[in-house]
Amino acid sequence: METRVVRACGDPGADREVMKEAAGIIKAGGLVAIPTETVYGLAGDALNPSSSKKIYEAKGRPSDNPLIVHIAKLKDMERIAEDIPGTAYKLAEKYWPGPLTMILKKKEIVPYETTGGLDTVAVRFPVNMIAREFIEASGGFIAAPSANRSGRPSCTTAKHCLEDLDGKVDMIIDGGEVGIGLESTIIDLTGGRPCILRQGYINEEMLRDALGDVETEAPETEHPKAPGMKYRHYAPKGIMKIVQGEGSHVEEKIIEMVSEHLSREEKVAVISSHEKYQEYLDNFRDRSSVSVYDIGSTEDEDLIAHRLFAILREIDDTGAGYIYSESFDTPRLGKAIMDRLYRAAGHNIIYSD
């Protein structure tokens, strides 16, 4: 299959031809990679079982890991979900369209191929205009996991999609870099208390603001309610470790460990805050086997979130066998950022003091 990459800009007039073509692909059971505000998605018709099967194949993903159904009108939630609790409407009013996914009881119309055999369905109403034009044009119900091949970091550009999906999807809609860079927050509304299954841009405090009471699933639960959380996602090819500790102990520890690898002529990468970046550069001047990535200032957590996946991909391209990352426990997005980093590192943490 030849994969076509086409540009879109989010203006319905200008995008009309692209959307017509993309919708034709979806209605014929094909696949299209699309931008959203969080990460790129690998889209197919959510109500067509064979499209969902194709998504699993293209992604190389186990078929017990359910797909999120994307809608472009609030009313459409009621066509795919039933027994919808009041909490869903409260959240929708505050945070939809936006980077929030709600788990609800599914209606029969949603095939088990899409929900990985579950009686629940994950519903998301994205804010990105290109995604919304595309969903509307394609019939209203789009299944879309993150567009990366299973196990790779999520895609934040069309170029990443092409790296992972060339020859596996009919079309990639290039809408430029995504805004947020981390996947949506997932909240389960099918139990007693609303429960956060995946951290994201809509954080605990924002959810509590809307609902009062919210619980969070423990990070290393053996059987997580979101099946995807059990996989070691975003795994870079090298061995990754996260270094934690107070102040300058962190960079001292990282410099010590990188030096050991250098003495063995091993390739290393470091994910650094902007604040400590120069310190590493000064220490490893002229050492071509160390790549240091400035992920942004700890004062600018949106930038850290935005760059994280692209940096993990770049590190893979350098062929680094070992990766050390600082920890980014920032106030608003820290939990979401660290969830991705911990899983990239397989929860491999070093304490520096």
Calpha distance 270→256 (Å, rounded) = 12
Which DSSP letter does residue 113 get?
Answer: H
Q: Judged by CB under 6 A, does residue 245 bind ligand TXA? A: no
Residues 21-40 that bind ligand TXA (CB under 6 A): 36, 38-39
Identity of residue 295? I
Q: Judged by CB under 6 A, does residue 150 bind ligand TXA? A: no
Q: Judged by CB under 5 A, does residue 330 bind Mg ion? A: no
- Token pair of 143, please? 């299944």
Nearest approach, Cβ of 21 to ligand TXA (angstroms)?
A: 20
Q: Judged by CB under 5 A, does residue 146 bind Mg ion? A: yes
Q: Judged by CB under 6 A, does residue 152 bind ligand TXA? A: no
Identity of residue 321? G
User: With 0-12 CB in 10 A as exposed, 13-18 as middle and 19+ as buried, what is 70?
Assistant: buried
Place of tokens 């994910």: 271
Q: How many helices (H) and strands (E) does the chain have?
A: 12, 17
Q: Judged by CB under 6 A, does residue 58 bind ligand TXA? A: no
Which of 79, 90, 159, 225 binds ligand TXA (CB under 6 A)? It is 225
H or E element: which one contains 169? none
Residue 99 or 322 with smaller CB distance to ligand TXA: 99
Q: At what angle do helices 334-344 and 301-318 cross, to 10 degrees?
A: 10
Calpha distance 219→343 (Å, rounded) = 10
Residues 94-113 that bind ligand TXA (CB under 6 A): 101, 103
Residue 39 or 92 with smaller CB distance to Mg ion: 39
Q: Judged by CB under 6 A, does residue 186 bind ligand TXA? A: yes
- Binding footprint of ligand TXA on the chain (CB under 6 A): 36, 38-39, 41, 65-68, 101, 103, 115, 118, 120-122, 124, 144-146, 183-184, 186, 197, 225-229
- Binding footprint of Mg ion on the chain (CB under 5 A): 146
